[in-house]
Structure 1
């Protein structure tokens, strides 16, 4: 192979690696889900596309975030945003109330078995819970997630292919 062709190939490979690094660092990333805390929405072993360029976090968003020291965990977590900064969260008889109003949660498979709160969400923080409420280790146990810990929003599940889905906060 002559030198010009080799340099063309090398340049293409380097460009592809740089673009891949930029996309994964700043725009979107793929994540594997190791636990069942988001069942039935997300199952163990599902693979997600996580958008890192998001404007703001909304109630109902599924987010990937770095755990807080209080959680005692090391690996990034996937949970649903329930409470926004300033919200008062209360769980009574298996129903979540946000600022006194019941939260509609059609994505849940079963009702919660425990009560919680009232709890006021700190500024620049979010109250998160797994959809598998009775088996999820979440904000009810270790508190809120600071805004700076949020890596991105899960926007889709791309594997397994038969379970392909796009997530919405609504």
Structure 2
């Protein structure tokens, strides 16, 4: 009688361990960000939790901080903020970014910087991703919009260092005035 109870507890422990492994490995994943491209929102050398399944259910939204495969070398992952959705027209001048004719007021950008004026049309199934630290121009201004399959997942929490712990803000009020394209 005691042996079957012990066996059941071992099986339950193994099942719970496997479930936790699946959740941690395939749904939520930790990433070490080693660049300054998201400062001041997220500091250099921060560890973030990324929900890798978030876009299986829904579509990426403006303001989402995402981890994506770096277009020039897809073996490297980088982080950026989705600014433009499929069908959007993005315009940049020296100081401002506008989406579909609406100039963004971006509180997460400490020092606006665009080396040159330019306009992009975001294709279907593509997203325009910019760094919060606009002086680092290695983003969609350089390599263009990225397709959804390049996006690893939505960054949700900075968990290390503990002094920087935060839920990552999507700044939804920044993007509310932007009109969607038909």
Which category of TM-score, normalised to the shorter sequence, fits these structures?
0.7 to 0.9
How far apart are the structure 2 equivalents of 1:44 and 1:13? Answer: 38
Q: What is the TM-score of this pair, normalised by structure 1? A: 0.86
**Cα pair 2:30 2:47 within 8 Å, conserved:** yes
| Residue aligning to 1:23 | 23
Taking only aligned residues, the RMSD between alpha carbons, in angstroms, comes to 2.2
Residue deviations 1:116-166 (CA, integer Å, cap 9, x gap): 421101110101011111124111111111111212111111111111111
Residue 47 (structure 1) aligned with residue 30 (structure 2): no
Q: Does 1:66 align with 2:89?
A: no
Separation (CA, whole Å) in 1 of partners of 2:134 and 2:168: 19
2: CA distance between counterparts of 1:146 and 1:113? 23
Aligned to 1:117: 118
Q: Does 1:149 align with 2:155?
A: no
State whether residues 91 and 114 of structure 1, in contact with CA within 8 Å, keep that contact through their aligned partners in structure 2. no
Cα 1:9–1:76, aligned 2, differ >3 Å: closer, same or farther? farther
Alpha-carbon distance between aligned partners in 2 of 1:116 and 1:24, rounded to the nearest angstrom? 42
- 1:37 alignment counterpart: 37
* In structure 1, distance between residues paired with 2:114 and 2:144: 19
